[in-house]
Structure 1
């Protein structure tokens, strides 16, 4: 078994954005949202689905900033007032288990060396399978249906 840990995004990157007026958010491609249904707004900071009525931002985020052909950005939701979450070792957020997940394994040069799509309930097995390859330096999880970045996965131990 290969130990791993999932980490949310740093909340400090997004806190100032919540203070911007909607017009300023629009200039950076962001929108203010309110969670209107359960299990529909996975926050990339807290690694939890937003509760009904929570304020969020939907915005583009460069989740793969490395100088690589795989450099990428995509839409994410972040909630107001939450802090960065680091999961317990070998635990995935509950929202992952409710979704179809794309698992993308990168080497130290930020090149994809393995990838898979699986039900979220199987993501732990897929992460361990990828980390069995010693060339895998880290993994990104994405919500497969909409392609949104979910979180980063790092080896532990």
Structure 2
């Protein structure tokens, strides 16, 4: 089964990069500098920031469904990134992490979930999409629990 993984669109976040630290704080956001490799995953490009690169850390509502599963969590975004949008490709950022994958129906209700090493994500996507009631998947980085990407049938 073909699948499509997408990062977040860059446009809604563009204005954040021009804000002062005080203005970011008013929005419960902050500028951070990556201080080690593979520790600051950009949710737009689905790539990891290199040490020394600047990112914005903010709270993002990744599950806006009008259901008990409505949710938000902290994410990192990096300026100048292009939205990841690929079919049948798992980005390296996800391949190197332990992932929690959650399957939701069209009403935003959780229908199935599992945890998997990123290198084994594709078979889990196929298994979850065998359930016709699952409309989309959300991938989270399992240990911190933060949202990583969306998966849909291609």
Do both proteins adopt the same fold according to a TM-score greater than 0.5, normalized to the shorter chain?
A: yes
Give 2:134's aligned residue: 136
Alignment partners' CA distance in 1, 2:28 and 2:125: 32
The gaps in structure 1 that reach 5 residues or longer are none
The gaps in structure 2 that reach 5 residues or longer are none
- Please list, as runs of the form range in 1=range in 2, the aligned pairs for 1:5-154 lying within 5 A after superposition: 5-87=4-86, 89-154=87-152
Moved over 6 A (4+): none
Alignment length (residue pairs) = 154
Please give the per-residue CA displacement for 1:27-73, whole angstroms capped at 9, x wherever unaligned.
Answer: 11111011111111110000111122221001100000110110000
Shift in Å, 1:112:
0.6
TM-score by length of 1: 0.95
Q: CA RMSD in A?
A: 0.8
SS in 2 for 1:14: helix
